[in-house]
Amino acid sequence: MKNLDDLNDLQLDVLREIGNIGSGNAASALSTMLDRPVDISVPKVMILDYNEVTDSLGGPEELLVGLLLSLSGDVTGMIMFLLHKDFAHMMINTLTGMELENFGNLDEFSSSAIREVGNIMAASYVNAIASLTGLDINISPPDLCVDMVGAILSVPAIYFANIGDKIIFIQDEFDKKEDDKTSSHILMIPEMDSLAKIMTNLGLEL
């Protein structure tokens, strides 16, 4: 397996299932913290050119809260949470009792609350994958950025542009609303080598 386009249907199904299990765990951790149900969609596996990445998330200038964590150990890559403003506001309000007035300038207390939620969600996601595959996966402390989604995503895009001309996302939407405009996203972005390791450990031929 050299190119992402070489992935077959079975392998894509496995990746979707990984997204399902990982984000299912992350969502239930979130739901416990917020003491309210958190809906989660069926995961999508997307293999995209860099140009297509932001379009798939609602347009490059959409203002979102981005949390980025690096994966190390047996699996390398990144996990990213993109939180819609309304959702981030609800989260901060529930956890700290504060109202968020200015998204462009988050205070230290609110931003550490968001970071901590990201930390717990990512750990739940990764632990589920680790115990499923028997692989050792570590996560870095989360890093936070509130800006245009295109600018936030330039960071993982650049990281993966070093390696290939396409990027693979295992994407889940949560807290999806009817108008489809205010959902938040979990993105698991594995490196090529790590994909192969995950597949092998799950007993799939490559």
Partner 1 sequence: MSRTITVGISDLNIAQAPDVLVTYALGSCVGICLYDVNIKLAGLAHIMLPSASQAPSSANQPYKFADTAIELLIRKMEAAGGRRVLFKAKIAGGAQMFSGLSNSSIANIGQRNTQAVKMELMRQRIPIIAEDTGKDYGRTLYLTAEDGLMRIKSASKGEWVW
The residue among 88, 133, 139, 135 whose CA lies nearest residue 110 is 88
Binding residues for partner 1, rule: CB under 8 A, are 2-3, 50-51, 53-54, 59-61, 63, 66, 68, 70, 102-105, 140-141, 143-155, 157-159, 161-165
CB of 116 to partner 1, least distance (A): 15
Give least dist CB 199 to partner 1, A: 19
Residue 84 · residue 201 · CB < 8 Å? no
3-state secondary structure (DSSP) of residue 94: helix
Cβ proximity to partner 1: between 10 and 63 the closer is 63
Nearer to partner 1 among residue 40 and residue 137 (C-beta) = 137
Helix ranges (DSSP H) in 82-148: 85-96, 108-133
* Cα 94 from Cα 53, distance rounded (Å): 31
Q: Which is nearer to partner 1, 3 or 32 (CB)?
A: 3
CB nearer to partner 1: give 19 or 66.
66
For the bound state, the minimum distance from the C-beta of residue 35 to partner 1, rounded and expressed in Å, comes to 30
Q: Report DSSP state, residue 117.
A: H
- Nearest approach in angstroms of CB 52 to partner 1 is 9
Q: For partner 1, which is the closer residue by CB, 154 or 182? A: 154
200 Ramachandran zone, left/alpha/beta (phi>0; psi -120 to 50): alpha
CB of 55 to partner 1, least distance (A): 9
Please give the angle made by the CA atoms of 155, 159 and 162, to the nearest 5 degrees.
Answer: 140
